Amino acid sequence: MSLKNDETSLDIVVQPKSSRSRITINETIIKVYLNAPPVDGKANEECIALFSKALRIPKSAIGIDKGEKGRKKRLLISGLTYEEIIEKLTAGI
């Protein structure tokens, strides 16, 4: 995936096999706790679903640009600015 004009990149850190799924923001780090294990892409699917629900956008508007197999990931989110994303994420916390 390459960054387009209407896409925003978002660097996150993922913690799979957590007791519950949630997104936390600590200064400059966005940490995502996922209930799913990192097997067969289940954690990636849950990560996209969690952001889709939190941001109220379709799953198809979110993609993983880097880090599909690692804990550090870069998401590409279509249709929202970085400020709008942070505002929506912090409103849900």
pLDDT at 22: 96
Yes or no: is domain 7-91 CATH 3.30.1200.10?
A: yes
pTM: 0.91
pLDDT at 91: 85
Domain regions of the chain by residue span: 7-91
- For the chain, 93 residues long, give each residue's pLDDT as a single digit of tens: 445 668 999 999 999 999 999 999 988 899 999 999 999 999 999 999 999 999 999 999 999 999 999 999 999 999 999 999 999 999 866
Cα dist. 31→4, 12, 53, 58, 92 in Å?
A: 24, 6, 16, 21, 14
